[in-house]
Chains A and B, each alone.
Chain A
């Protein structure tokens, strides 16, 4: 039989360190679960590959980039961003499954804050999504971009920031969605428009006004554009190409620098997490 229980146990004190540890364990659980799901890891890679090598090659022959740039080179950063879109958003929405299978309760009754749970979910989802995109990133040479360490690190940074935002969006949705049946269609309804309205698959230059507005409202746009800048700046573009492939994004006439776009992504993420924590508190 077990030895008598000795009380009290040494509990790690300091609320912040406890909350951070809670965030880390929730995050680690995401990684553990993803690690067990090899099939998901592979299927998630199929779609981006089709986009780049099948659609990119097919359309490449009719799309005029305005210079010598391969259409697939243009497409590559956009597809990288969409690949994290799927994985990250689903990681966030998996909170609906956690609720359905009861595990959410185990987390909710622990002496930790809701924000710790949400941050853990978000970090876990972001690490998983970014990790997965590294496989795609390894193929960057096949579309004519040099393997520059600085570029790769910058791209990974953007992908991580983007994944964090998308997981947070998934988590926010899942605080509202109560059933698994509803989760799938609702997430499709979110993911598809986000993918098409981000300029990931076509340039946002010369779009009709309504489409341009929707694109600017889509946070994914601000993940795609900076990455595309980073990638295309490796090449020497003609002026026509620069105008077509790297259009300037403006807010009320102000052309938004790439750095500000990334800051916006971070700010939106913080807002989404705060909102999710609040709905969580009032709804559960």
Chain B
């Protein structure tokens, strides 16, 4: 593998999974294809029951696919299960720590199961505890940890054996914003320092911004897959709002010199363009009016989700719908 063209870290073809049979048949995953380049952070977005966990479980060799194939870190998830397992780290949606053991004991157990040599194990345990800032709590029983601390410990544990691919199933669910941010900081830090590929599922649209590429899954299918930027551009235009000394003059010159129609909106000159970043420099060179401030608003991933699935991600999650909040956004 080393000197040839690099194989994708994850490649999936026609992967399906059905649960039950007959009338009870649930097609949780309906033939998905995807490819994740080594070193990328890949986000998997979708509402409850979309099939995210089922997909991750197949990629992690815990469930056998009903049909189709998947290769992870260069090995087939069915035929070469142990080879895959040695090269991946996992953080499940549900807790999988031994609450009665200490943080250190949990990590030690993991290092032993993955066959790390003594010296390496000690060094890695120190490193990962350091990374998630739990070094000073290593001797405490896990049941005394907060939810966020447990999550951080699980991420640390998933990294003990230096996996090539790290799978995280909803790593930030139910955590407060600070802890969520901290977890993403660790992931960014990790990516800066290593070649690791990260495959992460999430409900939180804002977190998808951290990913190099994202796939939106709905009802067992991938409805769209691209970079967050490309997805946002695909669903709409950027909005530029200007504060100027002379709004009338600015609107006039926008029309004459740039051919852009603008209007007053909430006390600002507001215009819609395809690529905000390309228009802003021209405003300064070509308008010849005094501009006090410029705000460019890009479409959000919520808009993307809305465009491709016909509803917001919170709509699909039942009662505590925040749809109203989002409806008023644009």
Is A150 an interface residue when CB atoms closer than 8 A count as contact? Answer: no
Interface residues of B in 90-117 (CB under 8 A from A): 90, 92, 94-101, 105, 109-110, 112-117
Picked from A33, A106, A111, the residue with its CB within 8 Å of the CB of B85 is: A111
Contact in complex: B115, A18 (CB < 8 Å): yes
CA of A101 to CA of B159, assembled, Å = 21
Contact in complex: B92, A2 (CB < 8 Å): no
Contacts of A11 in B (CB 8 A): 86, 114-117, 161
- Report if A21-B85 is in contact (Cβ < 8 Å); known contacts: A3-B127, A103-B96, A105-B92: no
Is A209 an interface residue when CB atoms closer than 8 A count as contact? Answer: no
Bitwise, B59-98 to A at CB < 8 A (1) or not (0) is 0111000000000000000000010011000101011111
CA of A21 to CA of B114, assembled, Å = 10
CA of A105 to CA of B157, assembled, Å = 13
Picked from A24, A25, A111, the residue with its CB within 8 Å of the CB of B82 is: A111
A114 to chain B, nearest CB (A): 12
Is A102 an interface residue when CB atoms closer than 8 A count as contact? Answer: yes
Contact in complex: B189, A1 (CB < 8 Å): yes
Residue of chain A at shortest CB distance from B167:
A109
Is A108 an interface residue when CB atoms closer than 8 A count as contact? Answer: yes
Is A178 an interface residue when CB atoms closer than 8 A count as contact? Answer: no
Contact in complex: B131, A2 (CB < 8 Å): yes
Is A240 an interface residue when CB atoms closer than 8 A count as contact? Answer: no
Contacts of B60 in A (CB 8 A): 109
- Report if A101-B131 is in contact (Cβ < 8 Å); known contacts: A9-B117, A11-B114, A107-B113: no
Residue of chain B at shortest CB distance from A25:
B112
Contacts of B157 in A (CB 8 A): 106
Contact in complex: B113, A12 (CB < 8 Å): no
A39 to chain B, nearest CB (A): 13
Is B52 an interface residue when CB atoms closer than 8 A count as contact? Answer: no
Is A245 an interface residue when CB atoms closer than 8 A count as contact? Answer: no
Residue of chain B at shortest CB distance from A106:
B96
Is B214 an interface residue when CB atoms closer than 8 A count as contact? Answer: no
Contact in complex: B112, A21 (CB < 8 Å): yes
Kindly list 10 other residue pairs between chains A and B, CB separation below 8 angstroms, not including A11-B86, A25-B113.
A4-B194, A8-B162, A9-B124, A22-B115, A103-B97, A106-B110, A106-B113, A109-B60, A110-B113, A110-B114
- Report if A29-B101 is in contact (Cβ < 8 Å); known contacts: A1-B131, A4-B194, A109-B62: yes
Contact in complex: A9, B120 (CB < 8 Å): yes
Is B245 an interface residue when CB atoms closer than 8 A count as contact? Answer: no
Contact in complex: A12, B115 (CB < 8 Å): yes
Q: List 8 A-B contacts (CB under 8 A).
A: A4-B193, A5-B162, A21-B112, A33-B98, A101-B99, A108-B62, A109-B62, A111-B82
Residue of chain A at shortest CB distance from B119:
A10
Is A38 an interface residue when CB atoms closer than 8 A count as contact? Answer: no
Contact in complex: A10, B99 (CB < 8 Å): no
Bitwise, A93-105 to B at CB < 8 A (1) or not (0) is 0000000011101
Is A239 an interface residue when CB atoms closer than 8 A count as contact? Answer: no
Q: Please classify how large the interface on chain A is, using the bins under 10, 10 to 19, 20 to 34, 35 or more.
A: 20 to 34
CA of A2 to CA of B86, assembled, Å = 22
A15 to chain B, nearest CB (A): 9
Is B45 an interface residue when CB atoms closer than 8 A count as contact? Answer: no
Interface size on B, residues (CB 8 A): 41
Is B128 an interface residue when CB atoms closer than 8 A count as contact? Answer: yes
CA of A231 to CA of B275, assembled, Å = 91
CA of A3 to CA of B95, assembled, Å = 27
Contacts of A5 in B (CB 8 A): 127, 159, 162, 193-194, 196
Residue of chain A at shortest CB distance from B117:
A10
Is B130 an interface residue when CB atoms closer than 8 A count as contact? Answer: yes
CA of A108 to CA of B110, assembled, Å = 12
Is A112 an interface residue when CB atoms closer than 8 A count as contact? Answer: yes
A8 to chain B, nearest CB (A): 7
Contact in complex: A109, B90 (CB < 8 Å): yes
Picked from A25, A36, A102, the residue with its CB within 8 Å of the CB of B109 is: A25
A214 to chain B, nearest CB (A): 38
Contacts of A109 in B (CB 8 A): 60-62, 85, 90
- Report if A32-B101 is in contact (Cβ < 8 Å); known contacts: A5-B162, A103-B96: yes
Residue of chain B at shortest CB distance from A113:
B82
Residue of chain A at shortest CB distance from B135:
A2
CA of A6 to CA of B195, assembled, Å = 10
Interface residues of A in 1-60 (CB under 8 A from B): 1-12, 18, 21-22, 24-25, 29, 32-33, 36
CA of A33 to CA of B90, assembled, Å = 24
B128 to chain A, nearest CB (A): 7
Contacts of A22 in B (CB 8 A): 112-113, 115
CA of A271 to CA of B65, assembled, Å = 30
B70 to chain A, nearest CB (A): 15
Contact in complex: A110, B85 (CB < 8 Å): yes
Contacts of B90 in A (CB 8 A): 109
Residue of chain B at shortest CB distance from A101:
B99
CA of A101 to CA of B96, assembled, Å = 7
Contact in complex: A32, B95 (CB < 8 Å): no
Contacts of B159 in A (CB 8 A): 5
A18 to chain B, nearest CB (A): 5
Residue of chain B at shortest CB distance from A24:
B112
CA of A8 to CA of B130, assembled, Å = 20
Contacts of B94 in A (CB 8 A): 102, 105
Contacts of A36 in B (CB 8 A): 100
Contact in complex: B96, A102 (CB < 8 Å): yes
Residue of chain A at shortest CB distance from B62:
A109
A94 to chain B, nearest CB (A): 11
Contacts of A101 in B (CB 8 A): 95, 98-99
Contact in complex: B194, A111 (CB < 8 Å): no
Bitwise, A125-169 to B at CB < 8 A (1) or not (0) is 000000000000000000000000000000000000000000000
